[in-house]
Structure 1
Amino acid sequence: MASTNLPTDPEGLTGKLCSWVHDVKLEDIPGDVQTRAKYLILDGVACALVGAHLPWSEKAANGIFEMEPPGDCVVFGWDRKISPLSAALLNSTFIQGFELDDWHSEAPMHLNSIILPALFSAATKAKSTVNGASFLLAYLVGLEVGPRVGNALYGSHMLSVGWHSGAVFGPPASSTAVSKLLDLPANLIEDAVGIACTQAGGLMSAQYESEVKRMQHGFAARNGLFGALMARSGYVGIKKALERPYGGYLATFGKGTGRDPPYLLDEVTKGLGSTWKTHAVRVKPYAAMAGTHGTIDCIRKLQEDYPDRMKDLASITSIKYEMAEAAFHHGGWKAKRPITSTGAQMNNAYVAATQMVDQRVLPAEFGQDKLDRDLVWDLVNKSTCQQNNEFTWDQKATITFKDKQILTTIVKAPRGVNPALSNEEIVDKWRHLTIDIIDDGKRSKIEDVIMNLELVENVLELAQLLSGVTGHAL
């Protein structure tokens, strides 16, 4: 690397990270990690197509279409093209549209909604054709950077203090991924990170009534893309943005952690290039916030072990759920009627009641016609959630009946974490979710292109496959 292309401090935290981003090659990444990444992309595409025409997604799309002239970037699931920044924002909103998308089990963030929309927009603005191998490498860079930055801020603890963690951790992931796709030198990657990080943020109070919760990872996708495109044009970003002691990314967000030390510098580069954070990207089996999945599995286990008793819902007098700190702060709040679909999917007691009544937690359970059912709310109102400081992934359910019988169970880790969904299960999820969304021919073609992504000559062929009006999930 020429000296003029070096980051400000090559031995500093931001400098080391940006140099790795610049230097890493696809052949440096183990084959199983590359393979898993393709299945993760397939899951992200499934979520985007399912999310494109949800009521709140259509509201977001129409609002942006009213503000935007036509552009050259595809809008997933629509027969429209808009500007790169707005396309990244909107396509991310679709991926996050129904709590079906991936999450990272060390540093909570929905990486597909942060990285994929930014990369597709960037590919449209690249100065030469972007092939599938370059796209896959850039995607993997984002998967590796985002969780490391999140771990430096104690991962899930950011949720506990009220930040929407993925919207905070996301700008470094999207900016480095796009920088890699655009083949920027390390000094410009540093600028991209600095421009992106100064836009980081997102309030977790978005989880209650708002629709903007679905969009907040899109801010990270858009801002990382913006940072990289501006850096390519020569615009100078914050230097050493991650480690600056005054006004730096980690120092500033670390002020709210309440931890000693307030942030962990070494986590950003620890194991970089040898320990692969991609392995901890989890795929959801349920259409609900990840912290509710242990609760769902507790109810499923009781339904399997006590099928007749668990059908006698009218005889239940009380329900207690126990969970770790982050899950409690994120989903243990007291749900009140009426509730929005966002709030319902974020609440452990509501999601568990849905599993009890419907014996599943899928998109249909959160349609507007399902949110005001007396049977569900009777169970929600009998439920309490408690923080258990001895738990990490564990969750516990205790159900008491009128005849004083008590059923209890503990799940050590939810399905999707241990065991993680297999590649075959991800394909099944993709096919099941999109069965009424796209036709069989298109589904087969998309699947084939993604599974052979490293052989694709122009990744915009995949972007084009994701365009065109899709069906409605509700």
Structure 2
Amino acid sequence: MAHGSEANSSGVTKQLCEWIQNVSMDDVPEDIRTRAKYLILDGLACAIIGSHLPWTQTAALAIFDMESPGNCSVWGYDKKIGPLPAALLNSTAIQGFELDDWHLAAPLHSNSLILPALFAAASNEHAKHSTKSNGKNFLLSVIAGYETGPRVGHALYGKEMLTRGWHSGAVFGPSASAAAVSKLLSLPAASIEDALGIACTQAGGLMAAQFGSDAKRMQHGFAARNGLLGALLARQGYTGIKNVYEEPYGGFLAMFGEGSGKEPRYLTEEVSKDLGQTWQLRMIGVKLHASMAGTHCTIDCVQALQNKYPEQLSNLGEIASIKLDMGEAEWKHGGFDIKRPVSTTGAQMSAMYTTATQLVDGQVLANQFRHDKLDRDIIWELIHKTQCVHDPEVGGKYGQRVTIILKDGTVLTQTLEGPRSVYPGLTNEEILDKWRRLTQGIIEEKRRDKIEKLVLGIEDLEDVSVLDELLAGPIANPIA
């Protein structure tokens, strides 16, 4: 059996690396360039709101205690540390409140993987080598990361990884981070292959983290840090696994494809399929609710019922039962039985909890997950009446159904093909509105407007470290 440098001299790993090296802004359609800027803005909104949440603060204090001062900003703090811990903490902030982007078919949270690694790399380059990273190259590097991570995910059947208990974004994510930083550093294809090989051997993430651990917030941060580490090592000539995706013995796809139950176990060709033709960025969704993406269709179903039947649902005490029909990945990810008391993490992952919250509060945003809101009797009364059911026929890739039966026998039901964030998806203007709503009162208006202007005009920015510095400094706690 051929392996290592003896195999696949022009296989998918090298094809991907050559594309990352050679892609230019001229190759990127205008709508992709524009959308990428709004996605960046959404990621920074999530970082700002997430940077001073209690679990992020706990992580920050622990990291500050163990790390020496460095050159890279920690967003929301007057602290600078080294590039690897900065990427870890800033990613943890973006993932801090389940408000960040996700890929619709190959689930990962791209901004939490890519932006912290790129800003850390850019700031470190500026401080150590007086090298400025301009906005145009930064944007192109972001796009390279957006395109890489999901392709790795497609090769492992995307959402199927969640059904097996892997935190899919933490598995696919090191590739996205390594690709983006490699592009920013202008690494040649051979070094990009080393970076990916180093990043992929660090991939992993257990979905049991979702039931209550703070570690759920940090798992994309591990991936962001590890991809950055791979690129920085590769730049110095440190070698990584060659042909890491297609290597049959101990390769990335071979190992993470174990137990998939699919035939074939993995889809090698997806790693480099249609590069520069089919843009994965178009499949990046933007959230409207502060909860796990698999709960969003359920929330939207409930919201539709509230709009249709305001009188019938005005007295929640009249609800006899609630049934949530869900696809397999959503059911395994968010359909678990929830116990009282619950942590904020567990509540945000739970279809039962978010359904009850939508019924009670009419929204599922940051305020619904304050510690004093997690133990409300009315919420738990509704949870105890709720059942989550796996229904493969519920409709569409993202479809769900909610059925509410009242004590008088009235049946209220709503089926949707997918959440509002998928069908039709948020426009750029709606993302801008989300940015402004989330940051209102969290940072001062002048600072917010400057960040917004720099991001939406990032191609003209001479040095992205200016933007990084704006993200540092005091930020209010949104759920204090």
Distance in 1 (alpha carbons) for counterparts of 2:299 and 2:8? 48
SS at match of 1:154: coil
Cα 1:15/1:7, change in 2 over 3 Å: farther
State how far apart, in whole Å, the 2-side matches of 1:42 and 1:227 are.
26
Quick one: distance in 1 between partners of 2:173 and 2:417?
A: 28
Could you tell me which residue of structure 2 aligns to residue 93 of structure 1? 92
- 1:440 aligned residue: 445
Preserved contact between residue 335 and residue 349 of structure 1 (Cα < 8 Å):
yes
Structure 1 residue 317 displacement after superposition: 1.0
Matches within 5 A, 1:160-199: 160-199=163-202
Partner of 2:418: 413
- 1:7-406 → structure 2 map (5 Å cutoff): 10-126=9-125, 127=129, 128-390=131-393, 391=395, 392-406=397-411
The one-letter amino acid of 2:312's match is: R
Q: What amino acid does structure 1 have at the position aligned with 2:61?
A: N
Q: From the superposition, tell whether residues 40 and 7 of structure 1 become closer, same or farther in structure 2 (CA, over 3 Å).
A: farther
Measure, in 2, the Cα distance between the counterparts of 1:310 and 1:11. Answer: 61
**Aligned position for 1:425:** 430
Please say if residues 297 and 414 of structure 1, whose CA atoms lie closer than 8 Å, have aligned partners that are also in contact: yes
SS at match of 2:403: strand
Amino acid at match of 1:173: A
Letter of the 2:99 partner, please give it. L
- C-alpha displacement at 1:414, in angstroms? 0.4
- Report the alpha carbon displacement of residue 124 of structure 1 after superposing the two structures with TM: 1.8
1:380-418 CA-partner distances (Å, limit 9, x unpaired): 010000111123211101111111111111011101101
| Alpha-carbon distance in structure 1 between the residues aligned to 2:101 and 2:274 | 23
Letter in 1 for 2:95: Q
Contact 1:107 1:155 in 2 (8 A): yes
Distance 2:286 2:105 in 1: 14
- Determine the C-alpha separation between the residues in 2 that align with 1:375 and 1:311: 13
Q: Deviations over 1:92-146 (max 9, x none)?
A: 0000000000000010000000000000011123342100000000000000000
State the distance in 2 between where 1:9 and 1:382 align.
Answer: 55
Alpha-carbon distance between aligned partners in 1 of 2:123 and 2:6, rounded to the nearest angstrom: 27
Q: Which whole-Å CA distance do the structure 2 matches of 1:399 and 1:280 have between them?
A: 32
**C-alpha displacement of 1:268:** 1.0
Pairing 1:457–2:462 present = yes
The 1:202/1:276 distance shift into structure 2, 3 A limit, reads same
Q: Report the CA distance shift for 1:459/1:8 in structure 2 as closer, same or farther (over 3 A).
A: farther
Give the match for residue 3 of structure 1: none
Read off the aligned partner of 1:132 and give its amino acid letter.
G
| Partner secondary structure for residue 455 of structure 2 | helix
Q: Give SS of 2:405's match.
A: strand
Q: CA deviation at 1:266?
A: 1.1
State the TM-score, normalized to the length of structure 1: 0.98
Q: CA deviation at 1:9?
A: 5.0
- How far, CA to CA, are the matches of 2:205 and 2:377 in structure 1? 33
- Secondary structure of the corresponding residue to residue 135 of structure 1: helix
Amino acid at match of 1:115: I
2:325 is paired with a residue whose SS is strand
- Aligned partners of 1:284 and 1:416 also within 8 Å: yes
Distance 1:375 1:192 in 2: 51
CA contact (8 A) 2:13 2:272 kept: no
Partner deviation per Cα, 1:185-215 (whole Å, 9 max, x = no partner): 0000000000000000000000001010000
* Residue of structure 1 equivalent to 2:475: 470
Deviation at 1:69, TM superposition (A): 1.1
Tell me which amino acid in the other structure corresponds to 1:89. Answer: L
Summarize the Cα distance change of 1:315–1:54 in structure 2 as closer, same or farther, 3 Å threshold.
Answer: same
For these two proteins, the number of residue pairs brought into alignment is 469
Q: Give CA-to-partner distance per residue, 1:329-365, whole Å, 9 cap, x none.
A: 0000111101000000000010010000000000000
Distance (whole Å) between structure 1 residues aligned to residue 245 and residue 113 of structure 2: 19
Gap runs ≥5 in structure 1: 1-5
Structure 1 residues 67-90: Cα deviation after superposition (integer angstroms, max 9, x where no partner):
011111000111110110000000
Judge which range, 400-409 or 353-362, deviates more.
400-409
Q: In 2, Cα distance between the equivalents of 1:209 and 1:287? A: 16
Q: In structure 2, give the amino acid aligned to 1:464.
A: E
Cα distance in 2 for partners of 1:227, 1:411 equals 42
Moved over 6 A (4+): none
Report how far residue 11 of structure 1 moved. 1.4
Q: Provide the rounded CA distance (Å) in 1 between the counterparts of 2:260 and 2:146.
A: 23
Shift of residue 419, structure 1, vs aligned partner:
1.1
* Contact 2:107-2:169 within 8 A present in 1 as well: yes
Distance of 2:135 and 2:45 partners within structure 1: 18
Contact 1:7 1:15 in 2 (8 A): no
Measure how far apart 1:10 and its partner are. 4.8
The amino acid of 2:358's aligned partner reads Q
CA contact (8 A) 2:114 2:177 kept: yes
Q: Aligned to 2:338, what secondary structure does the other structure show? A: coil
Maintained 8 Å contact 1:338/1:372: yes
Contact 1:244 1:251 in 2 (8 A): yes
Normalising by structure 2, we get a TM-score of: 0.97
State whether residues 10 and 16 of structure 1, in contact with CA within 8 Å, keep that contact through their aligned partners in structure 2.
Answer: no
**Contact 1:33–1:278 (Cα < 8 Å) also in 2:** yes
1:7 and 1:181 mapped to 2: Cα distance? 29
Secondary structure of 1:96 counterpart: helix
Q: Using a 3 Å threshold, how does the CA distance of structure 1 residues 341 and 284 change in structure 2: closer, same or farther?
A: same
